[in-house]
Structure formats: C-alpha cells, structure tokens
Amino acid sequence: MAVPRPKNVESAPVALATSDGLLAQWLSLPTERQTAIAVLLLGALLFLPWLGAVGFWDPWEPHYGEVGRAMIARQDFVHPYWENAYFYSKPVLTLWMDAVSMLLAGTNHGAGLGADPSRGVSVATEWCVRLPYALLAIAELVFVCITMGRIFSRRVGILAAIALATCPMFVLLARQAVTDGPFVAINTIGFCCLILALFEREEPQVGWLYTFYACVGLGTLAKESLGIALPGATMLAYILLTGEWSMLKKLRLFSGALVVGAIAAPWYTAMLVFDGKDDESKTFLERLRHDNINRFLYGVHTTTPGGTFIYFIEQLGFGVFPWVAAVPGALSEMFRTSISDRSRESRVRLLLVLWAAISFAVFTLSATKFHHYCFPILPPLLILCALWLDRVLTNGVRAEAVALLLGGVLFALIANNLFMTPKHLTDLFVYNYERPYPDREVDPRNWFRAIFVGGAVVALWPFVVTLLESFGSRRAETEPKPNRLFVTGAAYGTALVFAFYLSWFHWRALTPHWTQREIFWTYLEQAKPDEPIIAYYMNWRGETFYSRNTVRQVKDTALMQQLAAQPGRKWVIVEHNRLAGLKQTLGANYKVNQVDQAGDKFALVTVD
C-alpha cells in the first residue's frame, strides 16, 4: 500500500523515514482526523492494556459468557441457553459478541488463541471476549469527538471525548463484558449520527440518518425496548417543544423503520414463535413482558426497592467524578438553552438537554433500579459539561465564578465520600451491593488522597492569585489567560490520572475478589479426571462458566453428605463465610483441606 505523499514536503520517501518526516505527515492530515486519531489512541491506552489479565467478574460477565459458550457448544446461535434451560433475560447482541469472541479464543474446541484444554477454557478467553466491548467504547469516544467538533468547535469535541473517557463509570464498564456498555455506545453513536444527519447541513445527510437507524436496530438487540424508546422519546420531545414538524419528513420514518426492522425483527420473530421455556417456565414473550413492563412498573428483581429521584443523582456524582465539579456549569448550559433560538448550536444543545433529561426520567421512573442504570445519562451530561468548560476557556474564571464555586463544593463532597468509602466505585457496576469490599487487601485511599488533593490545589491556584491581587489593589481589568488554563488543566489532569489509576491498577487489584478463574485453574491442574467439583451454596455464575457447566450445584446439607460419602476425593468451591458450615455439615469423619482461595470471597477445598 502506497504511503500518501505529504503536502509541501519534498523528497517524501527519504523524509518519511525520519522523525521529521513522520511529523510532517502527521501535520499534513486534516485537523479532524488528527483529533480523532488522538482520541482513539487515548481510548486504546486507557482500556486495552491488561484487558484479559484478570478473570470475569461475578455474576454478570460469566453469566453472559456461559450463554455465549453454550451457543457454540450446542451449535444454536438463535435460542440462548443457560445451564439446563433456555435463557431469555437478555437480548442476543452481547451474547453473540461473546460467542464470536470465544470462537476466536478456542474456548470450546481447544483451538484458537491461547487454547489450553487442561485449563477448561482458553487463557485468551477474557481478552477476546472483552475486546469488542472496549473497541465499542473507543468508537463511541471518536464519534463524540467528531460530532461535537463539527457542530460546536474542535475544542469542544476534544473536551467532551476526554471527559467521557475518564469518568469512573465509563472506565470501569469499558472493561466489562456486560450488556450496558454496548447499548450505551451504540445509543451514543446513534445520537451522534442523528445530529450529523439533521444539523450539520441544511439538507439531511441520508448516510448518517440510516446509520442512526442501524444503531437503533442494534440497540434493540442490545437492550430491547430501550433501543427505540430513548432516541424516539427524545426526538418526539424535541419536535413538540420546537414545533419543527418538518423534522418528521427529514427523519424518513418509514424507510428508517424498515432499517430497524431488518436488523432487529428476524431474531425477535424467531424467538416469538419459539415455544421453549426458561428456568422459570416462561416463554420468550412472557419473559419479554416481565422484563420490560414488570421491571418498570413493579420493581421485580431489584436490589434497591423504593429508590426515589435522588437515587441516580447520588450515583451520577460517583460515576462522573471528578467531572461532578462541572455539573453546575452543565446545568447552566441547560438553562441557557433557548427554544426560540434556531441556530444550529442552540438546537443541538436543546437535543442534548432532552437526551439527558429523558434518560434520567425513564430510569428514575422505573421501579427497578440498579446503580449502573444511570450510565446512559453520562454521554449527554458530559458533553454539556464540556460545552461549559469551553465557555470557561473563552470567558475566563471570573465570568463563571458561581458555577465554579458550586462545582468545587460538589468535588470536595464526592471526593471525601469516595475517600471514606471506595466501595462506591465497585457498586457502580456490581449486582450485590451488600457484598463486602476488600478493604484490607485493596486500599486505594493513599492514591485517592494524592490525586484528589493535588487536583484541588492546582485548580484553586487562580483564585489564590486573584485574592492576592485584590488585597494588593492590583486587580487587572482583564483576567490573565493562565487562570482559565489552570482550572481546566487541573480538571483534565486530575481526571486523566484518576482514570489511568482505576483502569490500569485498581481494577486489576479488585478483580481477584470477584472472579473464580484462578480457583478453577488450580482445580484443573491438580484434580484427576474422575474427581468432580461441587459448588456449595453458590450462585455466582462463575462456577458454571469456568467449569464449562460441569459443576455440581449443592444447596442441601443432606445431598452434600451423600456426595461426600461416595468413594474418592471431592473438590468443593465455597464462600469463606460458609466454610465453617461445610465442615460442620460433614462432621469429624471427613477431612476438609483448603487448597486455594480467590481473594476475600471464595475458597477451594478438598473433601476426603
């Protein structure tokens, strides 16, 4: 493939072999391409290193992973299956992603990247499965950067992409093979395509418009009705508020619906005519109604019943930290938005406000609430934060003093709360909030103190300078530009350092306490082929995935005694707090030896 000749560079073949030549080639690229590549590299640097270095987090990653593995084992990629029954709790997109990734890893058939049949699943499984999720997150950042750059300014695009990439909820979910990451990425990319289609030029851009509809179809395969509900409700609210009924014609709803249907309808149709039942004896239609209506109205399967509208405000504070300091500014952007203003920037700002507000309303009104349900609110909220930070850079610190002061108070409150209770971060994406946090084994407080205090000191410097100037009667008529650079630089510096710490170090340190991978490596290396493994009062999903659905689930003391009485050595995986109960159940006639443990949660023992 020929290398494009840089503009205004002589002797390109020689120059390109030097660092100056590479720099010239880089500088010859369009500015938009430069920023997109820079954002892509930042995302890759944040999310790709050590992606497969740790096992799947219980319970969601191994749960969906096992369904994907079962698709390969059963050679059925249409009807999801879990353990001994069909699985209808999640739509199929992420399950397909897991299955295709595991085919590459050789998880089921002993061939592929890092395949090692003695270890049950390929050692490359976690890396291969998580990679598409991380790549989707990176693509989301690039689309945000390009779209906001074209509508507002290149600076806004960069500020928005970095803010989104560095907030804790985005950092942690970009490394998780769960349904929420792909849905939010596809939903955000879809909104970006819609904005480019409708607002970049006077005439609708058909290519971007149909890409938006393709994202709606994929979003429906990722998160059922939400794939259509969020963008549909947002656009309906926009048209009702602005009175731009001509937008209906620009949206090409009929042909767009055909695109959505072509992507989503085949699988849903196949499932609706299928009569198989899940482990609760529900058909696909019954489960669909249960998950979409009963969850919203009656709060089924929630671990936090009775949550009010304040619920997600608190979780957003932790999820967008340290950008919580810019949230008052983002709210000022909302109030600044004028429905009567027909400029392109104002219309897109209104769409962003509605996107954030409707997402917040939908999940707040839902009776079923989990902390990570606020994830779809993050992209529009952080874009609004970036618009305000751009205004700080333009107008200066003094012009935005009130919002900065309120933001500083929020930063201090959330920083103190995270320092006192780091568990808030893991609770952003886990299932059981009562599960203990490994305080003794993983204590990030020293890092938190250094990052939070360091960022606050740098951010406060302009205010100290201004105060000193006022005491000395030397206040300048115009604010020095370094003041605004100090504030925004402190915010972005703090966010980047915090994000890299969470992604590269803290996530890896936490994972052994939520995964069973290493325990099953020990079992597979030391057990004989005829020695079974038992999960004693377990329901964390990892035991099913890492055993390839061969583990024996035991939740009855009589059955445990019966299995222990059989000839030969038995292997048992058990939670630490149930180990004493296991020994008491078996009695003094059996010898229980602890062989291995995974963090503070699980232990592997043998019973003789």
* pLDDT of amino acid 411: 93
Q: Say which residues have a Cβ less than 8 Å from residue 581's Cβ, sequence separation at least 6.
A: none
Opening angle at CA 542, ends 537 and 544, nearest 5: 75
Q: Is residue 480 packed enough to be buried (19+ CB in 10 Å), middle (13-18) or exposed (0-12)? A: middle
Question: In Å, what is the CA distance from 392 to each residue of 7, 159, 325, 388, 469?
Answer: 36, 12, 13, 6, 20
Question: Are the beta carbons of 597 and 603 closer than 8 angstroms?
Answer: yes
Query: Average pLDDT of 230-242?
Result: 95
Q: Which tens digits make up the pLDDT trace of 169-199?
A: 999 999 999 999 999 999 999 999 999 999 9
Q: Which tens digits make up the pLDDT trace of 554-585?
A: 999 999 999 999 998 999 999 999 999 999 99
The model's confidence at residue 18, banded by pLDDT at 50, 70 and 90, is low
Sheet with strand 552-554: strands edge to edge: 552-554, 533-536, 570-575, 602-607, 592-598
Q: Which tens digits make up the pLDDT trace of 520-560?
A: 999 988 998 888 899 999 989 999 999 999 999 999 999 99
Amino acid (1-letter code) at residue 333: E
* pLDDT of amino acid 303: 63
CB atoms within 10 A of CB 242: 16
How far apart CA 433 and CA 436 sit, in angstroms, is 8
CB atoms within 10 A of CB 295: 16
Determine the angle formed by the axes of helices 154-166 and 125-151, rounding to 10 degrees: 150
Q: Is the pLDDT of residue 224 over 70?
A: yes
The model's confidence at residue 16, banded by pLDDT at 50, 70 and 90, is very low
Q: Is the pLDDT of residue 345 over 90?
A: yes
Among candidates 102, 83, 115, 269, which has minimal Cα distance to 177?
Answer: 102
Q: Say which residues have a Cβ less than 8 Å from residue 334's Cβ, sequence separation at least 6.
A: 353, 356, 357, 384
* pLDDT of amino acid 185: 97
pLDDT above 70 covers a percentage of the chain that reads 89
How far apart CA 229 and CA 225 sit, in angstroms, is 6
The model's confidence at residue 485, banded by pLDDT at 50, 70 and 90, is confident
**CA atoms 583, 589, 594, 598: torsion sign:** negative
Q: Which tens digits make up the pLDDT trace of 349-375?
A: 999 999 999 999 998 888 888 888 999
The answer, as to whether pTM is greater than 0.75, is yes
Question: Residue for token digits 């890396």?
Answer: 127
* pLDDT of amino acid 115: 43
Q: Is the pLDDT of residue 116 over 60?
A: no
Q: Is residue 596 packed enough to be buried (19+ CB in 10 Å), middle (13-18) or exposed (0-12)? A: middle
The strand pairing partners of 82, in sequence order, are 85
Question: Are the beta carbons of 570 and 603 closer than 8 angstroms?
Answer: no
Strand spans (E) along 56-188: 81-82, 85-86
* pLDDT of amino acid 487: 77
What the block records as the tokens of 535 is 């999960």
Give the domain ranges of the chain.
130-512, 517-607
Among candidates 357, 359, 345, which has minimal Cα distance to 387?
Answer: 345
Q: Is the pLDDT of residue 109 over 60?
A: no
Q: Is the pLDDT of residue 406 over 50?
A: yes
How far apart CA 572 and CA 605 sit, in angstroms, is 5
Choose the most confident range, by mean pLDDT, from 105-114, 144-153, 462-471, 560-569: 144-153
Q: Is the pLDDT of residue 466 over 70?
A: no
How far apart CA 38 and CA 503 sit, in angstroms, is 19
Question: Residue for token digits 């600076």?
Answer: 155
Helix (H) or strand (E) holding 97: helix 93-105
The model's confidence at residue 26, banded by pLDDT at 50, 70 and 90, is confident
Determine the angle formed by the axes of helices 401-420 and 310-319, rounding to 10 degrees: 90
Q: Is the pLDDT of residue 475 over 60?
A: no
**CA atoms 213, 218, 221, 222: torsion sign:** negative
* pLDDT of amino acid 471: 52
Amino acid (1-letter code) at residue 101: S
Q: Could you give the residue ranges of the DSSP H alpha helices within 401-541?
A: 401-420, 423-426, 445-471, 481-500, 507-510, 517-526
Question: In Å, what is the CA distance from 222 to each residue of 135, 187, 254?
Answer: 16, 10, 22
Question: In Å, what is the CA distance from 435 to each residue of 312, 422, 540, 601?
Answer: 20, 13, 12, 9
Q: Which tens digits make up the pLDDT trace of 282-332?
A: 999 999 888 877 777 666 666 666 667 788 899 999 999 999 999 999 999
Average pLDDT score, the chain: 88
Q: Say which residues have a Cβ less than 8 Å from residue 390's Cβ, sequence separation at least 6.
A: 152, 153, 155, 156, 159
Q: Which tens digits make up the pLDDT trace of 117-152?
A: 455 788 889 999 999 999 999 999 999 999 999 999
Query: Average pLDDT of 36-51?
Result: 96
The model's confidence at residue 600, banded by pLDDT at 50, 70 and 90, is confident
Q: Is the pLDDT of residue 348 over 60?
A: yes
